[in-house]
Amino acid sequence: MDFGTGSVSGRAAANQMEWTVNNAFKTYKAVACGVDMDHPKSMMDLALIQNVDPVDIGLGSSEKGTTVVPTKRKKTMTSVYLKFFETAPDGKSRRCKFCGQSYSIATATGNLGRHLSNRHPGYDKSGDSVTSSAPQPITVVRKAQQQGKQQMDYDHLNWLLVKWLILASLPPSTLEEKWLANSFKFLNPSIQLWPGERYKVKIREVFRSMQEDVMATLEKVSSKVSIILDFWSSYEQIFYMSVTCQWIDENWSFQQVLLDICQIPYPCGGSEIYHSLDKVLKMYNIESRVLSCTHDNSQNAIHACHTLKEELDGQKLGMFYYIPCAARTLNLIIEDGLRTTKPVISKVREFVLELNSSAKMSEDFIQLTAAYQEGCWKFPLETSARWSGNYQMLDIVCKAGKSMDGVMRKYEDTIAGRMALSPAEKNAVSIVHKYLEPFYKTTNNICTNKLLTIGLVLFFMDHISEMIILCRDSRHSSDWLKNAAEDMATKSRSYTTQVGNIFIFMTAILDPRIKCELIPESLSSGNYLEEARTLFIRNYSSRHFSSMTSGYGAQEIEDGGGVSFAEEIARKKRRVSLSNATDELTQYLSEPPAPIPTDVLEWWKVNCTRYPRLSVMARDFLAVQPTSVAPEDLFCSKGDEIYKQRFCMPHDSTQAILCIRSWMQGGIKLKCKSDEIDYERLMEMAGATIAENTAGLDKKQR
């Protein structure tokens, strides 16, 4: 339909019936069009819609693009709006001739004018005289004319769908589903969704634009950075690697950003991983600033990291170390501990699935737990096969065993026969539950810690090793449990061997909660401490301090009295005592460790003036992550959703969609080319229009 040309009266007569039929669709159309009186130059209109011509409609002028400032409103000028509305026979309402929208007869003519400008831009292009009482001009974007007809613009809707695809981690082909398209057509037959290929093109443009912002961010980083690698395979049997970078900024805030998701070519070995990783580091120009790499413990990843270290050492680009993932090691250790009870856990999980799916059964379970005082259980119960779900299965048997048996007796015809546990099985569950309780507490602490440092992880892993050895060597442990503990101890020793080096030692003691007092015995060698001093002197004794000429700022001096004479002398003496860089390390280690709940970065932010050189080293080393995957993604049900998204994503969408999603969650604005897409403003416009339409429909129904 064309609202910009031709006779107004002729166009109204021709389109009146059609708009009346489409009255039910007008709310959705308004959202899709996204025109707003208060914000005429919407960013989406002006910057993001291609192949469009902006048309400035000056309602007070017969010339295109001319704006006339409205003068004082006069009663004789109100008919310019009224002629586009017809009065109902009862004389109580007016109905728009274009769309059938009804308004009370008492509605101000200014509101009628806003309706026409907002819903039917171009309504006044009729050759008739238009007075200066018209509302302010707005800028409208229309698509290029096709066969003499101008089409309504639905790019706003399509950009909203782009964001939906990204946040939901869905491929663009999702919008090509016939029944989904039909659902949009049901709301408004004239809605035009982009073809799937165009969504792909737009998403790739967004990916490239946001990637440039990531590059610009990394250029400003003044400290060393560390990277972590994660790997997975999709349903297409394509092997992927994600590369994430982290650092601590000048304000002592931890920063993390996904650099890329790479396809590792066949045969997906260490050489292929190395070349893909090297390409990413060079693309972001950080190969000379990488301090460490945390990998997933696979032999191929270890081989790739070893090759990268040799390359960087050969170019003398500075220190580089690689470390195994503590979370994956701990998960493998726990799997050994669960080995004997896995069949029992499967039975309990089947019972819990029945509870979750039956409201009556769930209610019976809750009533029984209250009667037996077996705790409060929130439904749906977690049934994930990950560690948190497995432990809850053990929990139910040990803490709500009577209630579980009661439900099984009540529904014995349907579930009891295949799910009932024998006394021996219950006893085995009780033993394993008690044995693995410290593991569960450890994983909870790891998952909820604000900044998981290597020092804290080593502290936990050392405790886990002690628990395993006690179980293995205890004469009260069952043979089957001792055998499981032996396998657990083997994996624990392997991890300890891999992290037993000077780099891990230095990283651990820079955690003010750990220092030397809480570091594991395997790392407490006096030789490591001397090597740490050498490492500190060689790399941090003189860097970054050429401008440090006094212990207090110029502003303090100008204020007068800001620094007492005694304090000035004290600070000079401190500078003398710190002239030897090793004194900073000695003084730091001589003080008792901070309490475990201490915020590590906040501690260093407060104490960086006391240890100016050591704090620079701390910024570099404390950014090193002890895990290659977020612990909550590995141990908790949250990881199931991430796995499904990665596994189901087709190759042509994996890199762009998963990277954009991660960047958006990290606070980077979604952009296309050089223009930011203001989704908040777009949703505000949509919400306001829907509210207005809903109010209009309510009035009409009354």
DSSP letters of 164-194?
A: HHHHTT--GGGGG-HHHHHHHHHH-TT--PP
d(CA 164, CA 650): 17
Give the mean model confidence (pLDDT) for residues 293-319: 93
Rg (CA), the chain: 34
pLDDT of 104 > 90? The answer is no
pLDDT of residue 538: 86
d(CA 36, CA 44): 12
pLDDT of residue 285: 95
d(CA 446, CA 117): 58
Alpha carbon of 554 to those of 159, 546, 551, 607: distances in Å? 51, 16, 10, 20
Task: Count CB neighbours of 387 within 10 A.
Answer: 24
Task: Count CB neighbours of 361 within 10 A.
Answer: 18
pLDDT of residue 156: 79
pLDDT of residue 396: 95
Give the model's confidence band at 417: pLDDT under 50 very low, under 70 low, under 90 confident, else very high.
Answer: low
Alpha carbon of 368 to those of 264, 348, 356, 433: distances in Å? 53, 17, 16, 22
Closest-CA residue to 191 (of 13, 22, 45): 22
Task: Name beta bridge partners: 241.
Answer: 231, 262
d(CA 310, CA 177): 50
What's this model's pTM, rounded to 2 decimal places?
Answer: 0.72
Whether omega before 172 lies within 30 degrees of 0, making that bond cis, reads no
Contact in structure between 335 and 306 (CB atoms under 8 Å): no
Q: What percent of the chain has pLDDT over 90?
A: 55
Share the mean pLDDT of the chain. Answer: 80
pLDDT of 681 > 90? The answer is no
Three-state secondary structure call for residue 90: coil
Closest-CA residue to 507 (of 356, 671, 620): 620
Give the mean model confidence (pLDDT) for residues 658-662: 96
Give the mean model confidence (pLDDT) for residues 237-254: 96
d(CA 473, CA 535): 39
pLDDT of residue 49: 34
pLDDT of 678 > 80? The answer is no
d(CA 197, CA 219): 33
d(CA 286, CA 620): 14
Least confident of 100-109, 293-302, 337-346: 100-109
pLDDT of 559 > 90? The answer is no
Task: Count CB neighbours of 449 within 10 A.
Answer: 15
Give the mean model confidence (pLDDT) for residues 151-156: 60
Length of the chain: 702
Per DSSP (E only), the strands in 407-545 are none
pLDDT of residue 692: 66
pLDDT of 580 > 60? The answer is no
Distance of CA 421 to the CA centre of its chain: 42
Count H helices and E strands in the chain, helices first.
Answer: 30, 12
φ/ψ of 660, rounded to 5, equals -60, -45
d(CA 60, CA 80): 11
Least confident of 306-310, 430-434, 658-662, 679-683: 679-683
With both helix axes pointing from N to C terminus, report the angle between 651-665 and 638-648 in degrees, rounded to the nearest 10: 140
pLDDT of 660 > 90? The answer is yes
Alpha helices in 474-599 (DSSP H): 479-498, 502-509, 526-540, 554-559, 565-577, 582-590
d(CA 11, CA 8): 5
d(CA 545, CA 527): 29
pLDDT of residue 700: 63
Closest-CA residue to 618 (of 585, 571, 582, 580): 585
Alpha carbon of 157 to those of 139, 193, 443, 660, 686: distances in Å? 19, 8, 43, 19, 10
Give the model's confidence band at 689: pLDDT under 50 very low, under 70 low, under 90 confident, else very high.
Answer: low
Give the model's confidence band at 140: pLDDT under 50 very low, under 70 low, under 90 confident, else very high.
Answer: very low
Selected residue with higher pLDDT from 540 and 19: 540
Give the model confidence (pLDDT) of 421-448 as tens digits. Answer: 899 999 999 999 999 999 999 999 999 9
